[in-house]
Amino acid sequence: MKGCSYCGDHLTHDHQPEGDEKELAAYLKTTRQRAGLSIEEVAARSGYPEQTITNLEAGTGEPPTPRCLYCIAEVLDVKYLTLLTKVGYVAKRRKA
């Protein structure tokens, strides 16, 4: 069974979120750097391989799972909903 290329989740994904991977990538990299964390530190604290964090920051591969985003949100001290929205699991609010 093919796992998620971001998080290594051994479940297959039937989702294809409609987000902007480059927007998520830039946000994660900027947030990590502002927090003073290395890719290695984020990987160790989140429980995901360094390659996963590198792929996320590059905006390459398959979309990450919600579980992967949750773990990274906890490490970076950002809102989980923000990451879900950036990757497209949750629709962005339209301004009235």
pLDDT tens digits, residue range 57-77?
999 977 899 999 999 999 999
Average confidence (pLDDT) over 70-96: 88
Split at pLDDT 50, 70, 90, the class of 30 is very high
Residue type, 81: L
Domains of the chain: 21-87 (1.10.260.40)
Query: Which distant-in-sequence residues (6+ apart) come within 8 Å of 71 by Cβ?
Result: 46, 47, 48
Instruction: Select from 52, 68, 57, 62 the least CA-distant residue to 26.
Output: 57
Longest Cα–Cα distance in the chain: 44
From the list 22, 24, 53, the residue with the least C-alpha distance to 38 is 53
Mean local confidence (pLDDT), 8-18 = 51
pLDDT band per the 50, 70, 90 thresholds, residue 34: very high
Q: What angle do CA 27, 89, 19 make, to 5 degrees?
A: 55
